[in-house]
Structure 1
Amino acid sequence: MSFRDDNEDGRGGGGDLRKPFLHTGSWYRMGSRQSSSMMGSTAGFRDSSISVLACVLIVALGPIQFGFTCGYSSPTQSAITKDLNLTVSEFSLFGSLSNVGAMVGAIASGQIAEYIGRKGSLMIAAIPNIIGWLAISFATDSSFLYMGRLLEGFGVGIISYTVPVYIAEIAPQNLRGGLGSVNQLSVTIGILLAYLLGLFVPWRILAVLGVLPCTILIPGLFFIPESPRWLAKMGMMEDFEASLQVLRGFDADISLEVNEVKRAVASAGRKQAIRFADLKRKRYWFPLMVGIGLLVLQQLSGINAVLFYSSTIFEAAGVTNGNMVTCIVGALQVLATAVTTWLIDRAGRRVLLIVSTIGMTLSILLVAVSFIVKDFISSDSNLSNILGILSVVGVLAMVVTFSLGMGAIPWVIMSEILPVNIKGLAGSTATLANWFIVWLVTVTANLLLTWSAGGTFIIYTVVSAFTVAFVSLWVPETKGRTLEEIQSSFR
């Protein structure tokens, strides 16, 4: 049993099946040849960082949509259940269906991105997102809510794989970590926007506002180049060089990078099919294990349980205004992720991951001990109030330390280390594993918290401690290395 190599159809008789869905190659070829006439009035775009940054800001609308979808259910629960006469279980199903849709999208994401390109994949993701939000905004019963949530989830599943891969493939090696972290930063911004707007805007209007990111993303995709590495894999060398020239600046010398990518593509192209037996080779199993391991452990830490049920956790700790504290949690996520975006290419991936996982372990342990001790003392005592404050501090510290590393960096590393000839299958598998664990954690978290808040956080503490060991032993440092250098190091 085998699956076809990503390069096989791009240069063989089946090459016509794989063309960019949004093909703007001729525009960029003309731009690269006539840079003085076309770009003379826009000298800023000759700077490679500005050109790449513009592309990243456009595709970052996808993760903002992702975050908005995740945050939508929190501020709208009471209004939706009241207006549509939903039970708690029906609304819980509504909230969880985005994870189910995301799993379906994750399964398809790798192959869609390989067959029609990264931009085409994002276009495919944007359309069901728009339809889903409109279905929710006009819903008169639970069926439209469920349909809309599934469609949103499907689009989010594709976005969660495609955006980090696109950013990794277009970014210069010295900026790749910071630009890759923009993906998670955008997710946290989307969550915060949903929290804040949900305090003031009715749930139907909030759903209409959810259409905006993808509505802007669709036309924006026509103004950015396709991933040059994907074009090279497809054998479209003229478009590949034109795209890379636009991204690096029309005055930049790209010959070294062009040759490096061509060598990597040629090396991958020598093997026409990858059999599952081949995955036993270290060059395949090791990066696959690291990518899947990081994305699974990211969710097993319980971060989504904390975010989804923050109000319940804070109420158990004695906080009266749960919605306000939830907004504070969202703001802290944005700030901490912004710090990661600034630090990742300076400090490195491994250092931030180790600091993040150690901080999470200590923070969750503080929450666990606070809840366990609180169960054995009088609720009217001063110690109970102190423990309540400590548990809130621990939850906030967990969110901050998660955002400093484990939030953004697993997606960055996944997009960097997967070998080019298994990236579609391996990336889909890693993304699917991540979304399955998201679903599993959110489904079980409420039951676990009802059983024992202290016991729940002890479980998350053990997982975080294991994550420290996993990162320390197996996660490679990818800072300052090209994608080709990273992938060749596994051979």
Structure 2
Amino acid sequence: MDGESNSKRFPQYIAALSVCLGSVAAGSVLGWTGTISASLKNGDLNGIEADDDILGWIGSFATLGAMVMCFPIGIICDYIGRKWACLTTIIPFSIGWLLVIFSNGPAMIYAGRFLTGLAGGAFCVAAPLYTSEIAENEIRGALGSYFQLLLTVGILLSYTFGAVTTPKTLSIICAFIPIVFGLIFFFQPETPIHLLKKGKRQAALESLQKLRGAKYDSEKELTEIQQHLDQNTQNKVSFLQSLKTKASKKAFIICLGLMAFQQLSGINAVIFFLGNIFESAGGAIPSNYATIGVGVVQVVATFVSSLVVDKFGRKVLLIGSAFFMCISGILLGVFFTLKDRNILNDETINNISFLPIVSLVIFITVFSLGFGPIPWMASSEIMPPEIKSVASSIAAIFNWFLAFIVTRFFNNLVQVLNADVTFYMFATISLIGTFFVFFFVPETKGKSHREVQDILNGVHTETKNADGIDNPAFKNETAFH
């Protein structure tokens, strides 16, 4: 695109980081139970004692709230805009945390967790949508990964403060995070695409100029966006009719598949009950400190992913992520087999007590490099524009439904099947996910939305590589035909 060299990318990075401060708030919800499970059992939150069953519901109500909100937020994003959809989440965040802070029984904690989960689920749709619509193709992957990066920062904050404060103090700290987000993100522009959809061309031009800089040819890009929107409007059909096209079918199945393998890897069971897992495994390192250490690793790995996702591409990171999640799940399962089935004596078990920590560090690291950020990114990158809002919401609902199932019944699975069989199950699912990505998921690195749709449709288009040489856009991308 002419004038692209004059584009300023710093404002795009700032806008993406600003919206993803809301992801810190969402992450604090996910990580809230990570290091305070024992405290909740002891009644340290307003004297409310939580047994394993209550603890399971406390963890899973957040995912249930996220699931319920995923479909409405797609409609809200189209109606009031991506920016204001993100900002309105401050309300359920605040009310939810107040219910937890002043809770007088499990029901109030459930309600608070549901509302904070509802707000977090809204972000899983709204923030990636906002980011994908403000970013240039060359940095879309990096900016898209900020959502997961800041989510892990929020998880780490909950792990850390939960280890050194009371559950009530932790909840008060978490309640301030969405307020900080609102104060910072309020000054960022609405996406040019949404403004054009609403017929506000001048506002869209001003938004694009703010995101690209005054020397950039914003008018040309805006014209191209408008032409694309006009074409979509002319060809507009119902959601079910849109799913009849080859590209829509492939995109929908790929997104649902990635969401399924993300959650059925057991990630949310690990995040919600990491402290419990370490306590069950034993070891010289206190469970709270081990949990914080894994949280730090998660943040670092997700940051590395944001740096390399546009260099190595999505596909190779997904394959490596799924394969090594499988390996780490097997290692964790082997440890619990040796420990819980009395195959080795206590002294030998103590000598290999490092194995759960190593396994979970590997698991969190590779998850954060691939299957953490990329499935959410894929929903924005490969869905056809005419079904993006609805289909992304459905994919998010599916994701959180599976998260609810895994989180709610993880402790029950461990009790019925034992910990080793549970982790062997997660490992097997990750192995299947490796083959799914290899055979069915296309590479979208550096490709425009139009080029991605051509790949999914099996249409031969031309693009340029880093050296400016024309190459087929869908070379080696014909799987899933």
Q: TM-score, normalised by structure 2?
A: 0.88
Residues 52 and 248, structure 1, Cα contact 8 Å, conserved in 2:
yes
Q: Does 1:461 align with 2:424?
A: no
Query: In structure 2, what is the Cα distance between the partners aligned to 1:370 and 1:445?
Result: 18
Asked if structure 2 preserves the Cα contact closer than 8 Å seen for 1:61 and 1:186, the reply is yes
CA distance in 1, matches of 2:106, 2:343: 43
Whether the 8 Å CA contact 1:261–1:484 is kept in 2: the answer is: no
The answer to whether the aligner puts 1:359 opposite 2:359 as a matched pair is no
CA displacement at 1:386 relative to structure 2: 4.6
Q: How many residues align?
A: 445
Correspondences of 1:55-454 after superposition (within 5 Å): 55-81=15-41, 82=43, 83-88=46-51, 89-319=53-283, 321-374=286-339, 375-382=341-348, 384-450=349-415, 451-454=417-420
C-alpha distance in structure 2 between counterparts of 1:391 and 1:485, whole Å: 43
Cα displacement string for residues 296-315 of structure 1 (whole angstroms, at most 9, x for unaligned residues): 21010111122222233223
In structure 2, give the amino acid aligned to 1:188: T
RMSD: 1.9
Q: 1:356 to 1:268 in 2, by over 3 A?
A: same
Q: Is the 8 A contact 2:239 2:387 kept in 1?
A: no
CA 1:311/1:48 → structure 2, altered by over 3 Å: closer, same or farther? same
Determine if contact 1:264/1:484 at 8 Å carries over to the other structure. no
For structure 2, the residue ranges without an aligned partner over 5 or more in a row are 1-5, 458-481
Q: Distance in 2 between matches of 1:369 and 1:139?
A: 41
Identity among equivalent positions (%) equals 35
Match of 2:472?
Answer: none
Specify the code of the residue in structure 2 equivalent to 1:64: V
* Gap regions ≥5 residues in structure 1: 1-45
* More displaced 10-residue stretch of structure 1: 273-282 or 60-69: 273-282
User: Would you say the 8 A contact 2:30–2:271 is kept in 1?
Assistant: no
1:316 counterpart letter in structure 2 = S
Closer, same or farther in 2 for the Cα pair 1:399/1:222, shift >3 Å?
Answer: closer
3-state SS of 1:250 partner: coil
Corresponding residue for 1:41? Answer: none
Deviation digits for residues 125-161 of structure 1 (CA, Å, limit 9, x no counterpart): 1211011112211223333322211111111111111
State the match for 1:473 in structure 2.
439
Q: How far did 1:47 drift?
A: 6.2
Whether contact under 8 Å (1:371, 1:387) holds in the other structure is no
Aligned partners of 1:133 and 1:152 also within 8 Å: yes
Counterparts of 1:489 and 1:243, CA distance in 2 = 30
Change (3 A) 1:292 1:338: same
Quote how far apart the aligned CAs of 1:317 are.
2.6
SS state of the match for residue 462, structure 1? helix
> Structure 1 pair 340/117, CA: closer, same or farther in 2 (3 Å)?
same
**Distance in 2 between residues matched to 1:210 and 1:87, nearest whole Å:** 21
**Partner Cα separation in structure 2 for residue 360 and residue 134 of structure 1:** 37
The answer to whether the 8 Å contact 1:260/1:484 transfers is no
1:309-331 Cα offsets, whole Å, 9 max, x none, are 22332233332511111111111
- TM-score, normalising length from structure 1? 0.86
Residues 71-121 of structure 1 show CA distances to partners (whole Å, capped at 9, x for unaligned) of 112333344441333331333322221111111111211111111110111
Task: Give distance in 2, aligned partners of 1:147 and 1:224.
Answer: 32
Closer/same/farther in 2, CA of residues 309 and 219 from structure 1, 3 Å limit = closer
